[in-house]
């Protein structure tokens, strides 16, 4: 049985905590605190350290899920949580003002991890705002020479979250 560490990153409200809670087989560790800044306009609480959950795959491997805080002021946690990670699931809230800019921000911030490991992008809240479409995300990623899966997901649905995890951990095609 392998032990793997997967990192969930993305802006505030993209669904990181929700995704981890949706699939975790253990009681998730959630470090939410009342939002004390402009985040209050989006949601009541925000992650201040990390989220943690664990899921087992059909082959018996255990996947440890770590969610990063979405606010830049907690970016020191990003670097800490990246250590030992086998890949990154970037969740992007399509209903935000400029979700493509969020992709640029997070692929830059996590460049060290994605340089040597895999990246999968899950676009959430497409039910609230359909544009940009998945092709626009792929075109942006092409500019950075990143050929990665981009999927529309609902972070509340365990099957969608498991699809992201399984896609990230699937063997690379040669």
Query: Domain holding 163: CATH number?
Result: 3.40.50.300
Q: Which segments of the chain does DSSP mark as H helices, in order?
A: 16-23, 75-82, 99-109, 111-116, 134-143, 158-169
- Total domain count for the chain? 1
Q: How many other C-beta atoms lie within 10 A of the C-beta of residue 12? A: 19
Q: Tokens in use for 13?
A: 């409200």
Structure tokens at 121: 């992008």
In a domain, 47, yes or no: yes
Check residue 80 and give its pLDDT: 83
Which pLDDT value is given to residue 33? 63
Helix, coil or strand: residue 92: strand
Confirm if 4 and 85 have CB atoms less than 8 A apart: no
pTM of the predicted structure, to 2 decimals: 0.91
User: What's the rounded Cα separation, in Å, for the pair 105 and 159?
Assistant: 27
Close Cβ partners of 22 (under 8 Å, ≥ 6 residues apart): 155, 156, 157, 158, 161
Any domain includes 136: yes
* Domain assignment of residue 174, yes or no: no
Handedness of CA 120, 10, 100, 124 (dihedral sign): positive
Going by C-alpha positions, the residue among 107, 101, 95 that lies closest to residue 9 is 107
Edge-to-edge strand order for the sheet containing 118-124? 29-34, 45-56, 62-67, 3-9, 87-93, 118-124, 150-152
Q: Which structural domain, as residue segments, surrounds residue 125?
A: 3-169
Cβ atoms within 10 Å, residue 4: 17
Which DSSP category does 17 fall into?
H
Q: Which residue has the tokens 């809230």?
A: 93
Q: What is the full per-residue pLDDT of the chain (174 aa) written as tens digits?
A: 899 999 999 998 899 999 999 999 999 887 766 766 665 566 566 666 789 999 999 999 999 999 998 777 677 778 888 899 999 999 999 999 999 999 999 999 999 999 999 999 999 999 999 999 999 999 999 999 999 999 999 999 999 999 999 999 998 665
pLDDT of residue 78: 83
Give the pLDDT confidence score for residue 53 in this predicted structure: 97
């Amino acid at each position: 049985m392998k032990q793997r560490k997967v990192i969930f990153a993305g802006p505030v409200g993209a669904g990181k905590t929700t995704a981890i809670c949706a699939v975790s087989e253990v009681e998730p560790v959630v470090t939410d605190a009342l939002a004390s800044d402009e985040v209050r306009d989006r949601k009541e609480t925000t992650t201040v350290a990390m989220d943690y959950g664990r899921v087992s795959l059909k082959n018996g491997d255990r996947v440890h899920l770590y969610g990063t805080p979405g606010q830049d002021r907690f970016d020191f946690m990003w670097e800490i949580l990246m250590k030992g990670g086998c890949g990154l699931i970037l969740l992007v809230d399509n209903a935000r003002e400029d979700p493509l800019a969020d992709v640029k921000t997070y692929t830059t911030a996590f460049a060290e991890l994605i340089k040597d490991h895999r990246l999968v992008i899950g676009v959430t809240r497409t039910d609230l705002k359909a544009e940009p479409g998945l092709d626009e995300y792929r075109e942006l990623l092409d500019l950075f020479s990143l050929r990665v899966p981009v999927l529309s997901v609902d972070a509340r649905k365990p099957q969608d979250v498991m699809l992201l995890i399984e896609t990230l951990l699937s063997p690379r095609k040669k």
